[in-house]
Amino acid sequence: MTEPFRPQNEHDEIRNMNADQFYKSEHGRALREERNRHSDNVIREREFRQAEAAVEFFLASNRDYARTNDNRDQILRWLKDRKLPMTQNSLQQAFGELKHQLALSPDHNAEYGASRVVDYSDLGPKNPMHSRPPQQHVELVEQKSVKKITMADVRKMTAEQYEAALKDSDLGPQLEALLANQ
């Protein structure tokens, strides 16, 4: 036979739920909010670290970029207008598109890829140390080559080598970016 209907009190209702039902119910709201709060902070922190690594890589790669507030604002506005995340590729794309509008650093104005052009006529004939070489107008000066690090290299490192790589100004941002993408 059937029992007559008896309303359950709240504790009986909770006891009869499985974990998924409890989590989805009104009783699990506090648990959901706490879990989401923690997850959101972790996600934001990871996104911040990835963006920071992308910016460091961008700055190391583009020595002719002048670090001004106006340049930063223009690049951020360009990324926001196109709804792009702050990654190495999107920053490089923004820089390529906006390069003619941005202030560039005269100290590191790279005109020909990894080489810098030095014009000896700027040095003047008055200084004998800087006289023009015969029939040579331009000298190409190679920039410091940056070693590209791979995940295989990271796996071969000892703890001391890894620590030194993190402190290195060239390898540190690469290592951070590489590990952030894993």
Cα separation, 26 vs 30, in Å, equals: 9
Q: Which residues contact 104 (CB under 8 A, 6 or more apart)?
A: 64, 65, 66
Who has greater pLDDT, 72 or 41? 72
Given a cut of 90, whether residue 181 has pLDDT beyond it is: no
Is pLDDT larger for residue 37 or for residue 175?
175
Q: Read off the pLDDT of residues 50-81 as tens digits, 9 standing for 90 and up.
A: 989 999 999 888 888 888 899 999 999 999 99
Q: What is the pLDDT of residue 177?
A: 82
Among 16-30, 72-86, 116-130, 166-180, the range with the most confident prediction by mean pLDDT is 72-86
Contact 98, 92 (CB under 8 A): no
User: What is the pLDDT confidence band of residue 45, given thresholds at 50, 70 and 90?
Assistant: confident
Going by pLDDT thresholds of 50, 70 and 90, the confidence category of residue 128 is low
Rg over alpha carbons for the chain, rounded to the nearest Å, is 29
Sequence-distant (≥ 6) Cβ neighbours of residue 90 within 8 angstroms: 79, 84
Q: How many CB atoms lie within 10 A of CB 136?
A: 8
Answer yes or no: is pLDDT of 164 > 50.
yes
- Mean pLDDT over all residues of the chain? 75
What confidence score (pLDDT) does residue 126 get? Answer: 53
Residue with more model confidence, 61 or 3: 61
Most confident of 65-79, 102-116, 165-179: 65-79
Q: What pLDDT score was predicted for residue 73?
A: 92
**pLDDT at position 157, please?**
84
Q: Decide if pLDDT at 121 tops 50.
A: no
Residue 49 has pLDDT above 70, yes or no: yes
The helix-helix angle for 29-61 and 171-180 (nearest 10°) equals 150
Check residue 116 and give its pLDDT: 46
**Percent of the chain topping pLDDT 70:** 70
